[in-house]
Amino acid sequence: MNRAARNKAGSVVFDKRRTTWNWFYYEAGRRRSKLIGTKQQYPTKAAARRAAEAFHRPPPVPDAGPTVRKVLKAYMKEEMAKRFSTRRAYRSWLRNHILPKWGGRHLLIELQPRAVKRWLDGLTDLTPKSRAHIKGLLGQLWEFAMFAGWVPREVNPMKLVHVEGASKRRKRPRSLTVEEFRKFIDELVSFPVIRVIAIVCGCLGLRISETLALRWSDLDCLRGRLRIERGIVSQHEDDVKTECSERPMPIDPSLLNVLLSWKLQTEFTAQQDYMFASPMKLGRLPVSYPWVWRAFQHAADRAGIPRFGVHALRHSYRSWLDAVGTELAVQQKLMRHADIRTTMSYGDIVTNQESDALAKITAMTLGIVDKQHATARGKA
């Protein structure tokens, strides 16, 4: 070992007078020494040198915590959402956005508010609501890391990230008038299964996933009830969206007749058969959502009305409830929403309710009603 290397590593020297081992080294150009131990502690020079290595060993690097990929892997195994539709959405955001950006060697502590906010703002191809969902998933990763003891239990940094416009709709959902709906279902006469699906969605306001998952065993003809117990997404049967969604729906005799008439037409009528079973799948699965969606678009074109999504029938249902004067608390139960604010965000004015209300207010304000009464009294 040359002199420069020996000065850098230091040297171990035995002091015969004190019978101790000492480590000599250079620091800032000055020669210094440290006591290693006695001859009894370290009988050989090699043992003393091994002990001296602790003096010039660099301090351990503090644990910076787990990587994002490690947390993701454990989260997906232990805490991933159970519903198929939710898992599918989570996997899409992970695969297409979170992992490409943060899934390399990035540590979880690098997911800090400012960095995440700037990254989310750059995802201009996504809606604010989708960016808010991604932020929420990152927050769940932080919560899981705290739960696992990988990071200190403190305020979740994702709570400091604000996504502008997350609660606003980019496109206002459309509600059909009753006249438009009738024109629409008239164009589905040659597609009876699609026509009955549209009628069920329009009369009960069911989600399309719940409608496609209906079985004949869910229909209670004697009590006039329809049980909503499941949903189906991408041909995977799953639970309904919320606990409030899983409740029996009263069914009008007219709608009951429509369903019983359809039962006479379909070849799948066993109790456990799907109401809208697909012949292509030998009844093992219902007709697919994409096929229903395409049929809706073609029927709307033929009816001469603007195209609309399948969920528009649920918005229309709430609008029609308003039009017939249904109390808001009853609307919430019929829509099967857990929060009444969600019910209030659905639907639109599809009748002359606004004009009628304004006419009454104007007449009252300008005294038109009083004048009419006065004229009537004068004639009497």
Same domain flag for 330 and 187: yes
| Helix axes of 192-204 and 289-303: crossing angle, nearest 10 degrees | 90
- Whether the Cβ atoms of residue 192 and residue 272 lie closer than 8 Å to each other: no
Residue type, 360: K
Same domain flag for 316 and 236: yes
Query: Secondary structure of the chain: what % helix, strand, coil (to 5)?
Result: 55, 10, 35
pLDDT score at 255: 92
Residue 166 lies in a domain: no
Total number of domains constituting the chain: 3
Instruction: Count CA atoms within 13 Å of residue 138 on its CB side.
Output: 30
Same domain flag for 229 and 307: yes
Residue 322 lies in a domain: yes
Residue type, 316: S
Could you tell me the strand order of the sheet in which 225-226 lies? 219-220, 225-226, 249-250
- Whether the Cβ atoms of residue 216 and residue 263 lie closer than 8 Å to each other: yes
Q: Which helix (H) or strand (E) holds 201?
A: helix 192-204
Same domain flag for 51 and 75: no
pLDDT score at 309: 87
Residues sharing a CB contact under 8 Å with residue 222, sequence separation 6 or more, in sequence order = none
Residue 139 lies in a domain: yes
Residues sharing a CB contact under 8 Å with residue 315, sequence separation 6 or more, in sequence order = 173, 174, 175, 346, 347, 348
Same domain flag for 193 and 292: yes
- CATH code assigned at 145: 1.10.150
Longest dimension (CA), the chain: 137
Same domain flag for 232 and 317: yes
Residue 349 lies in a domain: no
Same domain flag for 121 and 182: no
pLDDT score at 132: 93
Full pLDDT tens readout for the chain, 380 residues: 555 555 566 788 898 888 899 988 887 778 888 888 898 888 998 888 888 887 766 665 556 789 999 999 999 999 888 888 888 888 999 999 999 999 888 899 999 999 999 999 999 899 898 999 999 999 999 999 999 999 998 899 999 999 988 776 666 778 888 899 999 999 999 999 999 999 999 999 999 999 999 999 999 999 999 998 888 888 888 777 666 666 788 889 999 999 999 999 999 999 999 999 998 888 889 999 999 999 999 999 999 999 998 999 999 988 888 888 888 888 888 888 888 887 777 866 666 665 666 676 667 777 755 545 445 545 54
- Which of 284, 306, 282 has the alpha carbon at shortest distance from 296? 306
378 φψ region: left (φ > 0), alpha (ψ -120 to 50), beta (else): alpha
Residue 140 lies in a domain: yes
Q: Which two tokens stand for residue 264?
A: 């006479």
Domain span including residue 286: 178-344
Residue 308 lies in a domain: yes
pLDDT score at 23: 86
- Whether the Cβ atoms of residue 152 and residue 142 lie closer than 8 Å to each other: no
Residue 379 lies in a domain: no
Residue 26 backbone phi and psi in degrees, to 5: -110, 135
- Whether the Cβ atoms of residue 295 and residue 183 lie closer than 8 Å to each other: no
Residue 355 lies in a domain: no
Same domain flag for 186 and 322: yes
